[in-house]
Amino acid sequence: MIVPGGGFSLDARRWVSCRPRFFLSVEVLSALFRGLFMDKLSAAYRAGELQFFGKHARLIDPRAFAAYLAPLWNTNWVVYCKRPFGGPKEVLRYLARYTHRVAISNRRLIACDQKGVTFKWKDYRFEGRERYKIMTLATHEFIRRFLMHVLPAGFHRIRYYGLLASGKRADNIARARELLTLSILPVDAIKAANTNADQPQTPEHRCPCCGGRMIIIERFERGSTPRYQPSPPTPVIRIDTS
């Protein structure tokens, strides 16, 4: 799920940014995930979709199963949620490999004959050329593993809501880019706007590279920590899941 960090004002004339750290409180996310997981687990038990073996065979009894789950409702579940190392662009690039590609690319297929299907795969326990290996599976087993990556009927790989709703998607994206792009005025126009001597002159901060006017986003006292958090630099990270 991708949520934009802001939205249009009611008159659609300006972009309203979100508050810092507005998205996904870890405490709330942990309690919500715990409730959903336990509810689905109980539903699967009532539908007879769970099987128990060995030391857990006693959980076939509904009372034993309920007693086994009771302490889990009071346990703090851990949900891992943090800022991505590579920034939003790397997250989108990573998700695109799953939303716009199939389970295996054609270049990884080597042969298909009576013995089965031969293809290349990666063993991430090794580095260098040793991680690239070849595997041959029976045709029915290869098809079974491939179909595990196919969504069931009625499921959609991508759903769009809000700004990205299909009806107004193009217009909303164009409008968002227009509002988020700062207009760059020529230096002569800025000087002409400040020629009125009756108005108090404010100090100008020029960019040493282009000469444009720099905008102050925050002032803080010496020794204090600024509240504004700039976007982290985007390192060059390549994640290949093929």
Residue type, 129: R
Q: What is the pLDDT of residues 43-93, one digit of tens each?
A: 999 999 999 999 999 999 999 999 999 999 988 888 877 777 888 788 888
Q: How many domains does the chain have?
A: 2
Residue 39: strand, helix, or coil: helix
* Domain that includes residue 152, residue range: 104-180
Residue 12 lies in a domain: no
Contacts by residues 227-232 (CB-CB < 8 Å, ≥ 24 positions apart):
227/20, 229/20, 231/87, 232/83, 232/85, 232/87
Residue 15: strand, helix, or coil: strand
Model's pTM, two decimal places? 0.42
Mean pLDDT of the chain: 81
Residue 77 lies in a domain: yes
Residue 44 lies in a domain: yes
The Cα 122–Cα 132 span in angstroms is: 5
pLDDT band at 201 (very low <50, low <70, confident <90, very high): low
Token representation of residue 102: 């199939």
Residue 10 lies in a domain: no
Among 86, 80, 142, 89, which residue's Cα sits nearest to residue 111?
A: 142
Q: What is the pLDDT of residues 106-157, one digit of tens each?
A: 889 999 999 899 999 989 888 888 899 999 999 999 999 999 888 888 887 7
Residue 66 lies in a domain: yes
Residue 142 lies in a domain: yes
Query: Which pLDDT score, from 0 to 100, does residue 197 have?
Result: 47
Residue 206 lies in a domain: no
Residue 65 CB neighbours (<10 A): 19
